[in-house]
Chains A and B, each alone.
Chain A
Amino acid sequence: MLLSNTFVLGASAGVFNSGDILFTIAMFAILLFLVKKLAWGPLMGIMKQREEHIANEIDSAEQSRAEAKKLLEEQRNLLKEARTEAQILIENAKKQGDLQREEIITLARTEADRMKESAKLEIEQQKEQAVSAIRDQVASLSVLIASKVIEKELSVEDQEKLINEYIQEGGR
Chain B
Amino acid sequence: MNHESPMINIMGLWFNLSNVLMITVASIIVLIIAVVCTRNLSMKPTGKQNFMEWVMDFVRNIINSSMDWKTGGRFHVLGVTLIMFIFVSNMLGLPFAIIVDHTLWWKSPTADPVVTLTLAAMVVALSHYYGIQLKGAKEYGRSYFQPVGFIFPLKIIEEFSNTLTLGLRLYGNIYAGEILLSLLAGLATSSFIGVLAAAPLTIVWQGFSVFIGSIQAFIFTLLSMVYISHKVSHDH
- Listed in ascending order, the chain A residues whose CB lies under 8 Å from chain B are 2-3, 5-6, 9-10, 12-13, 15-25, 27-28, 30-32, 34-36, 38-40, 42-47, 49-50, 53
Candidates B34, B43, B49; contact of A35 at CB < 8 Å:
B34
Chain A residue with the shortest CB-CB distance to B84: A35
Q: Tell whether, in the assembled complex, residue B20 and residue A38 are in contact, meaning their CB atoms are under 8 Å apart.
A: no
Tell me the bound Cα distance from A13 to B34 in angstroms. 36
Interface residues of B in 62-86 (CB under 8 A from A): 76-78, 80-81, 84-85
Complex contacts, B77 vs chain A, CB 8 Å: 32, 35-36, 40
Chain B residues near A23 (CB, 8 Å)? 15, 19-20, 23
Q: In the complex, are the beta carbons of B41 and A42 less than 8 A apart?
A: yes
State whether the Cβ of B122 lies closer than 8 Å to any Cβ in chain A. Answer: yes
Compute how far the CA of A13 lies from the CA of B83 in the bound complex, rounded to whole angstroms.
31
Known A-B contacts A17-B16, A42-B41, A47-B56; the reply to A35 vs B118 at CB < 8 A is: no
Q: Report if A15-B1 is in contact (Cβ < 8 Å); known contacts: A24-B118, A28-B122, A38-B35.
A: no
Query: What separation, in Å, do the CA atoms of A31 and B2 have in the docked complex?
Result: 32
Q: How far is the CB of B93 from chain A (nearest CB, A)?
A: 14
Query: Is the beta-carbon distance between A27 and B24 smaller than 8 angstroms?
Result: yes
- A20 with B20: CB separation less than 8 A: yes
Task: Write the nearest CB–CB distance from A45 to chain B, whole angstroms.
Answer: 8
Contact A35-B31, Cβ < 8 Å, known A19-B13, A20-B112 = yes
B4 smallest CB distance to A (angstroms): 6
| Contact of B14 (CB < 8 Å), options: A15, A28, A49 | A15
Are the C-beta atoms of A17 and B1 separated by less than 8 Å? no
A-B contact count (CB 8 A): 127
Answer whether residue B223 sits at the interface, using C-beta atoms and an 8 A cutoff.
no
- Could you tell me which B residues sit within 8 Å of A by CB distance? 1-5, 7, 10, 13-16, 19-20, 23-24, 27, 30-31, 34-35, 37-38, 41-43, 49, 52-53, 56, 76-78, 80-81, 84-85, 109, 112-115, 118-119, 122, 179
- Interchain CB contact under 8 A, A46 and B43: yes
Hey, which chain B residues are within 8 Å of A47, CB to CB? 53, 56
**Interface of B: prevailing SS:** helix
Query: B2 to A6, Cβ gap below 8 A?
Result: yes
Contact B41 A43 (CB under 8 A): yes
Which residues of A sit under 8 angstroms from B27, Cβ to Cβ? 27-28, 30-31
B118 touches A21 (CB 8 A): yes
Which residues of chain B are within 8 angstroms of A35 by Cβ–Cβ distance? 30-31, 34, 77, 80-81, 84
Q: Contact between A31 and B31 (Cβ–Cβ < 8 Å)?
A: yes
**A110 → B minimal CB distance (Å):** 88
Please, which residues of chain B bring their CB within 8 A of the CB of A50?
43
Give bound CA distance, A21 to B16, whole Å: 10
26 contacts between A and B (CB under 8 A): A6-B179, A10-B112, A12-B16, A13-B7, A16-B14, A17-B16, A17-B112, A17-B114, A20-B16, A20-B112, A20-B115, A21-B118, A24-B114, A28-B119, A34-B34, A35-B31, A35-B80, A38-B35, A39-B35, A39-B37, A40-B34, A40-B80, A43-B53, A47-B56, A49-B43, A53-B43
Given contacts A39-B37, A50-B43, A53-B43, 8 further A-B contacts (CB under 8 A): A6-B2, A13-B5, A15-B7, A20-B15, A24-B115, A31-B81, A40-B56, A46-B41
Q: In whole angstroms, what is the CA distance A34 to B65 when docked?
A: 27
Contact status of A24 and B119, CB under 8 A, knowing A35-B34, A39-B38: yes
